[in-house]
Amino acid sequence: MGAMWKHSGRVEKANKLGATFSKYAKEIAVAAKLGRPDPASNARLRAAIEAAKKISVPKDTIERNIKKGAGLLDEQMNFETVFYEGFAPHKVPVIVECLTDNKNRTAADVRVLFRKGQLGSNGSVSWMFDRLGIVEANHKEKKDMEEAAIEAGAQNVEALDKSEFSDAIVGARFFTEVTDLDTVGKSLSTAGWNITTSEISYIVKNMLEISEDQKKEVVEFLGAIDDHDDVHRIYTAIK
């Protein structure tokens, strides 16, 4: 199975550009708003905090956004999640997930970003994807991923590349029904798994094969979209 498309330079750029911290800060705030502000009982928040720490988001920024999302500050948090569907160059299907406090501004910006592709209407490409929950986790002991998936109630599981985590023997990506995401995350955590990602995602049903030159053009297109402050996640049909 393919997962969310990831900008190969996202982490490196984030270390150099403090502005990129806002993407992670938004996720923390939204996770705290939608669930409990306690990461011990909120898998999405816990994963968001871990991701932020990996790119050195300051501790006070993390704590402030947890409080902001929980409504404990005077600041108002009016982020909405909006999705845009369309095609990258060479007819590669794309779904762009944004967190925004101004839908009109974001919609106008996304139209410009899609000028080298084709922006579609709702449903134009989402039928090519499955909507699933994803939990990425690792364990410091040798564990059977299939057994862990069954015990936690996950639909499926696949191994993570060992380069994606450290100090762990097993790394896995668990796929769940959307409604089971929190339950599966809690079950894995109780079993000693360290949760690094907990999110609802679009998983493409069929990956596309394109040439290296075409892929380079698509990656440049996706990278430009990913650099926008409101863009939270991108889902597509290439690795």
Q: What is the pLDDT of residue 164?
A: 61
Residue 158 is assigned to a structural domain of this protein: yes
Average pLDDT of the residues in 197-223: 93
Q: Say which residues have a Cβ less than 8 Å from residue 142's Cβ, sequence separation at least 6.
A: 169, 170
Phi and psi at residue 99, to the nearest 5°: -115, 115
Cα–Cα dist 20/14, whole Å: 5
pLDDT tens figures, 108-163: 999 999 999 999 999 999 999 999 999 999 998 888 999 999 999 999 999 988 76
Residue 237 is assigned to a structural domain of this protein: no
Whether the per-residue pLDDT at 3 is higher than 70: the answer is no
Angle at 22 between CA 21 and CA 28, to 5 degrees: 95
Cα–Cα dist 19/79, whole Å: 17
pLDDT tens figures, 177-198: 999 998 999 899 999 998 888 8
162: containing domain: 129-203
- Beta pairing partners, 119: 86
Q: Using only C-alpha atoms, what is the Rg of the chain?
A: 18
b/e per residue 60-88 (b: at least 16 CB within 10 A): ebbebbbebbbeeeeeebebeebebbbbb
Q: Is the model more confident about 99 or about 34? A: 99
Structure tokens at 65: 């956004």
Residue 82 is assigned to a structural domain of this protein: no
pTM for the predicted model, two decimal places? 0.81
Q: What is the pLDDT of residue 111?
A: 96
Q: Is the model more confident about 55 or about 135? A: 135
b/e per residue 130-154 (b: at least 16 CB within 10 A): eebbbbbbbbeeebebeebbeebeb
- Beta pairing partners, 171: 138
Residue 173, SS3 per DSSP: strand
Cα–Cα dist 80/30, whole Å: 9
**pLDDT category, 92, cuts 50, 70, 90?**
very high
Specify the CATH number for the domain of residue 138.
3.30.70.980
Whether the per-residue pLDDT at 96 is higher than 90: the answer is yes
Residue 198 is assigned to a structural domain of this protein: yes
Average pLDDT of the residues in 87-103: 94
Q: How many structural domains does the chain have?
A: 1
Residue 112 is assigned to a structural domain of this protein: no
